[in-house]
């Protein structure tokens, strides 16, 4: 097997195993983040 073919095969196997969770994926984690973001209003500054 050529080195290039073996390299490409290993890249494909690694990509298939990857399970990175992206921020825009839907689910409970995203809903919790949105609820947390909406629950904390920014403190208002008083004018001098």
Q: What is the pLDDT of residues 11-34, one digit of tens each?
A: 889 888 877 777 667 788 778 888
- Mean model confidence pLDDT for the chain: 80
Domain boundaries in the chain? 3-38
pTM, entire model: 0.35
Long-range contacts, stretch 11-14, CB < 8 angstroms, 24+ apart: none
Find the length of the chain: 48
In 3D space, the residue among 33, 37, 36 whose CA is nearest the CA of residue 25 turns out to be 33
Instruction: Give tens-digit pLDDT for 30-42.
Output: 788 888 888 877 7
Residue 1 predicted with pLDDT over 60: no
């Amino acid at each position: 097997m050529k080195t290039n073919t073996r390299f490409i095969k290993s890249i494909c196997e690694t990509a298939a195993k990857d399970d990175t969770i992206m921020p825009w994926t839907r689910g409970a984690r995203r809903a919790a983040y949105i609820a947390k973001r909406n629950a904390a209003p920014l403190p208002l500054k008083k004018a001098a």
